[in-house]
Amino acid sequence: MILSLSKDTVQVLKETDVVFLRNRVKEVAVKIKMGLVNQTRLLTAASELVRNMMRYANGGVCMIEVVSSGRMNGVRLTFSDSGPGIPDIAAAMRDGFSTGRSLGLGLPGTKRLVNEFDIKSKVGEGTVVTILKWANG
């Protein structure tokens, strides 16, 4: 069972909020003694998702949670937006697929960077992406 130990939400609306969010995630990761490589992976994953949110949904909210399961601690990030949604999630999760002329590595790459990855999206309503990275996983 995964327990949530602390919760914090950050609004992301402007380009400058991205840096702020990244710093907050880093703070949390350092607090649970996450290693440097995992920290960088988590930060990069967060950075990918928040850029998606800014680009396709004009911003949204990110919830930062410290979670614990037995002896393991981790960081769970939930990105929710009320943008246009993703019509074909399977395609969006494929390497090199992009509707916005980018590299198309954001979502599949993020999945490879974290331990748990979950995406829910409804066209016209928005998208919620949840990622979890264990401190030493």
Partner 1 sequence: MTLNTHTLLQKKKKTILELWMKNQLADEGLREDLISNEELRSQSEELITALVGNLSGDNFSNLESDEWSPVIEILGGIAITRARQGFSPRETGNFVFSLKDAILDVLQQEITNDPATLFVESQKVNKLMDSLSVVTFETFIKGREEVILRQTDEITEISTPVIRVWEGILALPIIGTLDSARTQIVMENLLQEIVETGSSIAILDISGVPAVDSLVAQHLIKTVSATRLMGAECIISGIRPEIAQTVVHLGIDLSNIITKATLASALAYSFKVMRLEVKKVTVTKL
Does residue 80 contact residue 127 with C-beta atoms inside 8 Å?
yes
Tokens 């030493």 belong to which residue? 136
Strands, E assignment, 20-97: 60-69, 72-81
Closer residue to partner 1, CB minimum distance, 35 or 87: 35
| 15 Cβ contact partners less than 8 Å away, ≥ 6 residues apart | 54
- Is residue 27 at the binding interface for partner 1, with CB under 8 A as the rule? no
Tokens 């395609």 belong to which residue? 91
Least distance from C-beta 94 to partner 1, angstroms?
Answer: 11
- Is residue 24 at the binding interface for partner 1, with CB under 8 A as the rule? no
Supply 56's token pair: 């396709």
- Is residue 115 at the binding interface for partner 1, with CB under 8 A as the rule? no
Chosen residue from 39, 73, 121, 127 binding partner 1 by CB under 8 A = 39
* Piece of the chain touching partner 1 by CB under 8 A; list 65-73, 99-107, 117-125, 126-134: 99-107
Strands, E assignment, the chain: 3-12, 60-69, 72-81, 116-122, 126-134
- Is residue 113 at the binding interface for partner 1, with CB under 8 A as the rule? yes
- Is residue 47 at the binding interface for partner 1, with CB under 8 A as the rule? yes
Which residues lie near partner 1 (CB under 8 A)?
Answer: 15-16, 18-19, 22, 36-37, 39-41, 43-44, 47-48, 51, 95, 102-103, 105-106, 108-110, 112-113
